Structure 1
Amino acid sequence: MTLPRSAVEAVDTALSAPWGGISNIADLDGDMHWVDFGGPEDSTPIVLVHGLGGSHLNWVRVAPTLAKHTRVYAVDLPGFGLTQAHGRTTHIQANAALLNRFIDTVVGKPVILFGNSMGGMVSALATAARPDSVAGLVLVDPALPLPIRIPDPVIAAQFLVYALPYVGEQAMSLGRRTMTDEQLATQMTNLCFVDPTRADSEVVAAGAALSKIRRGFATQDAEFLQAARSLLTVLARPQKYRKALRDISAPTLLLHGERDRLVSVAAARSAATAHPHWTTIILGDTGHTPQLELPDEFNRHVLAWLSHTSLITT
Structure 2
Amino acid sequence: MLNTLWQSMTAEVGAIPLEELRPRLETAESRYLDLQGMQVHYRDTGGSDKPVLILLHGIFSSLHTWNDWSEILRDDYRVISIDMPNFGLTGAHPKGMFRFIYSDFLNDFTDALHIRECYMAGNSLGGWMTWEFAARFPQKVRKLVLIDSAGFFFVPPAGLIGMGLPMAGWMMSHSYLPRRVMYSSIRSTYARPERLSKEVLNRYYELMLRPGNRAAGSAVLRFIRNRAGFDNSFLSEIRQPVLVMWGAQDGWIPPDHAKRFGRRIPHAEVIMYDDCGHMPMEELPQASAADCRRFLQS
Instruction: State the TM-score, normalizing by the size of structure 2.
Output: 0.85
Question: Which residue of the partner structure matches residue 78 of structure 1?
Answer: 85
Q: Indicate yes or no: 2:104 matched with 1:97.
A: yes
Question: What is the CA distance between 1:10 and its match in structure 2?
Answer: 8.5
- Residue 271 of structure 1: which of 247, 261, 278 is its match? 261
Q: Is the CA contact (8 Å cut-off) linking 2:62 and 2:88 kept in structure 1?
A: yes
Which piece of structure 1 moves more, 247-256 or 266-275?
266-275
Question: Which residue of the partner structure matches residue 146 of structure 1?
Answer: 153
**Structure 2: any 5+ residue segments left out of the alignment?**
1-10, 12-16
Please give the secondary structure, in 2, of the residue aligned with 1:192: coil
Cα 1:254–1:294 change in 2 (3 A) is: same
In structure 2, what is the Cα distance between the partners aligned to 1:274 and 1:133? 21
Question: What is the CA distance between 1:46 and its match in structure 2?
Answer: 0.9
Q: Indicate yes or no: 2:25 matched with 1:15.
A: yes
Question: What is the CA distance between 1:156 and its match in structure 2?
Answer: 4.6
Question: What is the CA distance between 1:118 and its match in structure 2?
Answer: 0.7
- Residue 121 of structure 1: which of 124, 128, 134 is its match? 128
Q: Deviations over 1:140-192 (max 9, x none)?
A: 11102138xxx5xxx453343233213x3366347x60413xx4652343121
Question: What is the CA distance between 1:40 and its match in structure 2?
Answer: 3.5
Q: Indicate yes or no: 2:32 matched with 1:25.
A: yes
Question: Which residue of the partner structure matches residue 217 of structure 2?
Answer: 224
Q: Indicate yes or no: 2:102 matched with 1:111.
A: no
In structure 2, what is the Cα distance between the partners aligned to 1:289 and 1:92? 26
Please give the secondary structure, in 2, of the residue aligned with 1:60: helix
In structure 2, what is the Cα distance between the partners aligned to 1:114 and 1:9? 30
Which piece of structure 1 moves more, 264-273 or 203-212?
203-212
Q: Whose helix fraction is larger, Structure 1's or Structure 2's?
A: 1
Matches within 5 A, 1:44-59: 44-59=51-66
In structure 1, what is the Cα distance between the partners aligned to 2:170 and 2:216? 14
Q: Is the CA contact (8 Å cut-off) linking 1:55 and 1:81 kept in structure 2?
A: yes
**Structure 1: any 5+ residue segments left out of the alignment?**
2-6, 309-314
In structure 1, what is the Cα distance between the partners aligned to 2:144 and 2:93? 29
Question: What is the CA distance between 1:123 and its match in structure 2?
Answer: 1.3
In structure 2, what is the Cα distance between the partners aligned to 1:109 and 1:199? 36
Please give the secondary structure, in 2, of the residue aligned with 1:35: strand
Aligned-CA RMSD value = 2.6
In structure 2, what is the Cα distance between the partners aligned to 1:251 and 1:69? 19
Q: Indicate yes or no: 2:50 matched with 1:40.
A: no
Q: Is the CA contact (8 Å cut-off) linking 1:78 and 1:90 kept in structure 2?
A: no
Question: Which residue of the partner structure matches residue 4 of structure 1?
Answer: none
In structure 2, what is the Cα distance between the partners aligned to 1:178 and 1:242? 33
Cα 1:162–1:211 change in 2 (3 A) is: closer
In structure 2, what is the Cα distance between the partners aligned to 1:194 and 1:299? 18
In structure 1, what is the Cα distance between the partners aligned to 2:173 and 2:245? 33
In structure 1, give the amino acid aligned to 2:207.
L
Please give the secondary structure, in 2, of the residue aligned with 1:96: helix
Q: Deviations over 1:224-272 (max 9, x none)?
A: 11111223345x265xx23211111122111111111111111121221
- Residue 199 of structure 1: which of 191, 196, 201 is its match? 196
Please give the secondary structure, in 1, of the residue aligned with 2:68: coil
Please give the secondary structure, in 2, of the residue aligned with 1:280: strand
* Identical residues among aligned pairs (%): 26
Question: Which residue of the partner structure matches residue 169 of structure 2?
Answer: 169
- Residue 276 of structure 2: which of 260, 280, 286 is its match? 286
Question: What is the CA distance between 1:306 and its match in structure 2?
Answer: 1.4
In structure 1, what is the Cα distance between the partners aligned to 2:38 and 2:170? 28
Question: What is the CA distance between 1:56 and its match in structure 2?
Answer: 0.8
Cα 1:86–1:156 change in 2 (3 A) is: closer
Q: Deviations over 1:253-304 (max 9, x none)?
A: 1111111111111112122122351111111121111111111111121111
Please give the secondary structure, in 2, of the residue aligned with 1:245: helix
In structure 2, give the amino acid aligned to 1:73.
I
Cα 1:32–1:128 change in 2 (3 A) is: farther
In structure 2, give the amino acid aligned to 1:130.
F
Q: Is the CA contact (8 Å cut-off) linking 2:62 and 2:87 kept in structure 1?
A: yes
Question: Which residue of the partner structure matches residue 312 of structure 1?
Answer: none
Instruction: State the TM-score, normalizing by the size of structure 1.
Output: 0.81
Question: Which residue of the partner structure matches residue 136 of structure 1?
Answer: 143
Please give the secondary structure, in 1, of the residue aligned with 2:251: coil
Cα 1:164–1:265 change in 2 (3 A) is: same
Figure out how many residues of one structure are paired with residues of the other and give that number. Answer: 283
In structure 2, give the amino acid aligned to 1:63.
S
